[in-house]
Structure 1
Amino acid sequence: MPNHASDTYYIDIDQLQVGLYIHLDLGWMDHPFSVSNFKVTDDAQIETIKSLGLKQLRYDPRRSSSMPLRTAPLQNVVEFPLKKAPEPKVEIIDAIPELSQAQKKQLALRQAIAESEQKFMKTSTEVRNIQKLSTEQPEQAYGMASKLVGDLVTSTLTESDIAIHAMNGHRVSDQHYQHELNTLVVAMLLAKNLDITEEDLVILGMSAILHDIGKRQISDKILLKKDPLSVRETAIYQTHVLLGMNMLRDVAVPRKILTLISQHHEFADGTGYPKGLHCDQIDPLSHILIIANMYDNLCNPSNPAHTKTPYEALSVMFAQQRHQFDQTILRRFIKCLGIYPPGSVIRLSDQKLATVLSTNPQQPLRPFIQMLSDDREEEGDIIDLREALDINIIQCLKPEQLPNLLQNRLRLKQRTSYFLDKIYATS
Structure 2
Amino acid sequence: MGISPGEYYISVDHLDVGMYVLLDLGWMEHDFPLNSFKIKNQRQIDQIKAHGLKKIRIDPARSVFVPPAYVEEEPESAEEIEEATGESPEDALERAQREFMLRQYTALAECEKQFAKAAGSLRAINANVHARPQEAFNAAAGLVHDLLDTITGHKDVAIRLMNDKAGSEEMYYHALNVSVLAMMLARELNIPPADNEQLGIGCLFHDIGKTLIPYRVLKADKPSRAEVNLQRQHCEYGATIGAKVDLSSQALAVVVQHHEHVDGSGYPDGLKGEDISPLARIACIVNAYDNHCNPQNPADALTPYEALAHMYAHERKWYDVAYLTVFIRAMGVYPPGAVVKLEDGRIGIVIAANFGTPLRPRVLIYDPSVSKNNAPILDLQQHPELNIKSSIRPSELTAHAYEYLAPRTRVTYFFDTATNPSYPS
Superposition TM-score, scaled by structure 2 size: 0.73
Distance apart, 1:336 and its partner CA: 0.5
CA contact (8 A) 1:218 1:237 kept: yes
CA contact (8 A) 1:367 1:386 kept: yes
Match for residue 314 of structure 1?
A: 308
* Cα deviations by residue, 1:206-260 (Å, 9 ceiling, x for unpaired): 00000100111111212223x2321011011011111111112223221221122
- Give me the whole-angstrom Cα distance separating, in 2, the residues matched to 1:395 and 1:403: 17
* Cα deviations by residue, 1:268-288 (Å, 9 ceiling, x for unpaired): 111111000011210111110
Distance apart, 1:416 and its partner CA: 1.1
Residues 1:118 and 2:113 are matched in the alignment: yes
Q: Which amino acid aligns with 1:304?
A: P
* Cα deviations by residue, 1:293-352 (Å, 9 ceiling, x for unpaired): 111011101111110100000001100000000010000000100111111110112212
CA contact (8 A) 1:174 1:413 kept: no
- Tell me the percent identity: 35
- Give me the whole-angstrom Cα distance separating, in 2, the residues matched to 1:309 and 1:115: 25
Q: SS state of the match for residue 400, structure 1?
A: helix
CA contact (8 A) 1:223 1:302 kept: no
Q: Which amino acid aligns with 2:329?
A: K
Match for residue 245 of structure 1?
A: 239
Q: Which amino acid aligns with 1:306?
A: D
- Give me the whole-angstrom Cα distance separating, in 1, the residues matched to 2:146 and 2:276: 28
Residues 1:385 and 2:405 are matched in the alignment: no
- Give me the whole-angstrom Cα distance separating, in 2, the residues matched to 1:423 and 1:367: 16
Match for residue 335 of structure 2?
A: 341
Distance apart, 1:135 and its partner CA: 2.9
Of the three residues 99, 106, 126, the one matched with 1:104 is 99
Of the three residues 157, 165, 179, the one matched with 1:184 is 179
Distance apart, 1:195 and its partner CA: 0.7
Cα 1:250/1:398, change in 2 over 3 Å: same
Q: Which moved more, 1:205-214 or 1:366-375?
A: 366-375
Distance apart, 1:376 and its partner CA: 6.5
Distance apart, 1:361 and its partner CA: 4.8
Number of equivalences = 330
Residues 1:222 and 2:217 are matched in the alignment: yes
* Cα deviations by residue, 1:55-108 (Å, 9 ceiling, x for unpaired): xxxxxxxxxxxxxxxxxxxxxxxxxxxxxxxxxxxxxxxxxx997121111112
* Cα deviations by residue, 1:97-120 (Å, 9 ceiling, x for unpaired): 997121111112211222111111
- Give me the whole-angstrom Cα distance separating, in 1, the residues matched to 2:166 and 2:278: 34
Distance apart, 1:123 and its partner CA: 0.8
CA contact (8 A) 1:218 1:240 kept: yes
Match for residue 8 of structure 1?
A: none
- Give me the whole-angstrom Cα distance separating, in 2, the residues matched to 1:274 and 1:173: 29
Of the three residues 107, 131, 140, the one matched with 1:136 is 131
CA contact (8 A) 1:189 1:420 kept: no
Superposition TM-score, scaled by structure 1 size: 0.73
Q: SS state of the match for residue 100, structure 1?
A: helix
Unaligned runs of 5+ in 1: 1-96
- Aligned pairs (5 A) from 1:291-306: 291-306=285-300
CA contact (8 A) 2:141 2:201 kept: yes
Q: SS state of the match for residue 164, structure 1?
A: strand
Match for residue 163 of structure 1?
A: 158
Cα 1:376/1:136, change in 2 over 3 Å: farther
- Give me the whole-angstrom Cα distance separating, in 1, the residues matched to 2:149 and 2:417: 13
CA contact (8 A) 1:173 1:413 kept: no
Q: Which moved more, 1:374-383 or 1:136-145?
A: 374-383
Match for residue 264 of structure 1?
A: 258
Match for residue 287 of structure 1?
A: 281
Q: Which amino acid aligns with 1:198?
A: P
Distance apart, 1:203 and its partner CA: 0.6
Q: Which amino acid aligns with 1:310?
A: P
- Give me the whole-angstrom Cα distance separating, in 2, the residues matched to 1:363 and 1:289: 21
Residues 1:274 and 2:268 are matched in the alignment: yes
Match for residue 227 of structure 2?
A: 233
CA contact (8 A) 1:343 1:357 kept: yes
CA contact (8 A) 1:263 1:282 kept: yes
Match for residue 75 of structure 1?
A: none
Match for residue 324 of structure 1?
A: 318
Cα 1:98/1:318, change in 2 over 3 Å: closer
Cα 1:422/1:233, change in 2 over 3 Å: same
Match for residue 7 of structure 2?
A: none
CA contact (8 A) 1:360 1:423 kept: no
